[in-house]
Amino acid sequence: MHLAPCGELDIATVPHLDRALRRAHASSDLVVLDLSGLDLVDCSGARLLLEADRRMRGDGARLIITRVTPEVAWFLALIGMDRLLEIVDDDAASVEPALIAAA
């Protein structure tokens, strides 16, 4: 399953992405989250990413984050989330087939 939010991931938009991530996780063991359309992620957005990742790992699923914008990558690195999340520097279209083949 592939999701591509756009705009800002902040306290106002976190509930929307949380619902989308939960639906995606319910239908797939592999969720690719393309962040190329995000201009901003605040602390509530970062927390959502971490909670979703932990929830999916707990169920044996994977959350792959890809195409992170430089601004979002800087923020995730600043708060140490780049070491906790599975972030891939590749296009989601090429990531999914490779991961499915490796599974």
- Which pLDDT score is estimated for 102? 44
pTM: 0.86
Phi, psi of 81 (to 5 degrees): -75, -20
pLDDT over 90 (residue 32): yes
- Taking phi over 0 as left and psi of -120 to 50 as alpha, with beta for the rest, 91 belongs to beta
Q: Which uninterrupted H or E stretch holds 88?
A: strand 87-88
70 pLDDT band, cuts 50/70/90, is very high
Residues 43-52 pLDDT 10s = 999 999 999 9
| Domain CATH for 36 | 3.30.750.24
Q: How many domains does the chain have?
A: 1
95 pLDDT band, cuts 50/70/90, is low
Give 38: exposed, middle or buried? Use CB within 10 Å, 0-12, 13-18, 19+. buried
pLDDT over 80 (residue 98): no
pLDDT over 90 (residue 93): no
CB 45 within 8 A of CB 15: no
- Which pLDDT score is estimated for 89? 82
Segment 34-42 shows an average pLDDT of: 96
User: What is the span of the domain harbouring residue 20?
Assistant: 2-102
